[in-house]
Amino acid sequence: MAGAPDESESVMRLALSVLLVAIVLTNARAGEHDHPPQDVPIHEQFYSTWMRPDQPNQSCCNRRDCAPATAVRRHGDRWQAERNGEWLTIPPEKVERHRDSPDGRSHLCAIGLSVICFVFGAGT
């Protein structure tokens, strides 16, 4: 039958479909951050009510944009926070000064490499 796909073409299409689904699911997961199960309610409450220090009428973020910082360091005259293996510079106007960290760790909300909000953890 002319034009009908043969078995190898069908297998190839199936393999490509499976690969495409895997890529989409991986990319969707990459935007999320791991929160220890016991911290999810604390983080969700904190993030859902966190307003931007430099624009107090706007929300900082949501659960997808926010997470505990892996590490915090002083780099020259600026602070930086590590997220997903990248160091993000924290603009001074993005630092929360009127609320404490919900769990003693530093937290940040960022879109790409742009920090929207940051709060220092205890001892930082």
Q: Model confidence over 77-101: pLDDT tens digits?
A: 999 999 989 999 999 999 999 889 9
Q: Exposure string (b/e) for 32-51, b if CB count within 10 Å is 16 or more? A: eeebeeeeeeebeebbeebe
What pLDDT shows up at residue 121?
92
Both structure tokens of 112 = 């790409």
What pLDDT shows up at residue 106?
95
Sign of CA dihedral 15, 21, 27, 33: negative
- Residue ranges covered by each domain of the chain: 38-119
pTM, two decimal places: 0.68
pLDDT tens string 99-114: 899 889 999 999 999 9
